[in-house]
Each structure stands twice: as structure tokens, then as C-alpha cells.
Structure 1
Amino acid sequence: MKYVLQLLLIIFLILAGYGFYLNSQIPKSGDKWIGFSVLLIAFGIMPLFIASRYKKSKMGEFLKNQGNKSTENSENQ
């Protein structure tokens, strides 16, 4: 999964670079490519990255521990 994310990021950065290149040659001609690459990064890579990072974590234990800490701090004051 790590290599897939890296490959997708490189592809989308190349698309954004192509859009900036088109903008430098003809104004407002590369805006579609820049916008497309930003959307794909935001809605493609970010969910995949978050899912791959939290796939093996134990969020239930973390949330239980956080709840216990907050009650302990309020009782001590």
C-alpha cells in the first residue's frame, strides 16, 4: 500500500506540474489540470493514506484510555 500511495502522489504532482506549465504558456489553460490533481489528492490519496495508517490500530482501547484520563484529571481538581 505504501508504494501505491507514493506512485499515486507522484502521478498527481506531475499532473499539477503540467497544469502550472500550461498556465505559464497560455494563461488559464492549465486550471483544469491543477484542480483535477488537487481533487484527486484530497479525495483519493488522503482517504487511502488514513485507512492504511489506522488499519491496524486499536482505536477502542485508545478512546477508553482517553476517557479515563479526562475523568481522573477532573476528580483531582
Structure 2
Amino acid sequence: MKRIVQILFFAILIAFVVGYYFKWQDDHAMGDKIIGVAVLASAFILIPLFIYSRSKGKNIQDYMMTKENLDKMNDKKGENTENQ
């Protein structure tokens, strides 16, 4: 999965460069189309794949503001008062 995300990232980066090259060569319509496809691919394909690959195997409950997690945070604040 990591390799797929890397390949997709570099392909989108190359698409951006090619799109701006076309715009530099005064073919603005084609350059805008290439850049638009690259933006859509990064927003709807690359970012969800990246988020999925990074969050795979992690417990979502650890990152939510539940009563148990708030109690844990309050307990840790009371323990770290020696520097104050």
C-alpha cells in the first residue's frame, strides 16, 4: 500500500509539472485540464488512500474525546505538577 501511495504521489506531481509546462507553451486549455485532473486525483484518490494506509491497525477510540480518555488526561495532568 505504501508503494502505491508513493507511485501515485509522484504521478500526480509529474502531472502538475506537465500541466504547467503546457501552460508555459501557451496551450492554456490543455494545461488547465491536466492540472484539474491532477487536483481531482489527489483529492479523491491519493488523500483517502494515504489516510487509510496510515490509520490501518490503529484503534479509533484512542483518538476520540470519550469520558474515559478525558479522565486519563485529567489524571496525567495531576501527576506532572513537579515542574510548576
Amino acid at match of 1:9: F
The answer to which structure has the higher helix fraction is 1
Task: Give the TM-score taking structure 2 as reference length.
Answer: 0.73
User: Which letter maps to 1:39?
Assistant: L
The total of aligned residue pairs comes to: 70
In terms of Rg, which structure is larger? 2
Alignment match, 2:26: 26
| Alpha-carbon distance in structure 1 between the residues aligned to 2:35 and 2:23 | 9
Deviations 1:14-68 (A, max 9, x none): 11110000000115230000000010001000000111111110112443xx322
**What is the RMSD computed on CA atoms of the aligned residues?**
1.8
Q: Which amino acid aligns with 1:35?
A: G
- Give the match's secondary structure for 1:26: coil
Identity of aligned residues (%): 37
Give unpaired runs (5+ residues) of structure 1: none
Structure 1 residue ranges (4+ consecutive) displaced by more than 3 angstroms after TM superposition:
none
Farther-moved stretch of structure 1 (44-53 vs 24-33): 24-33
TM-score (norm 1): 0.79
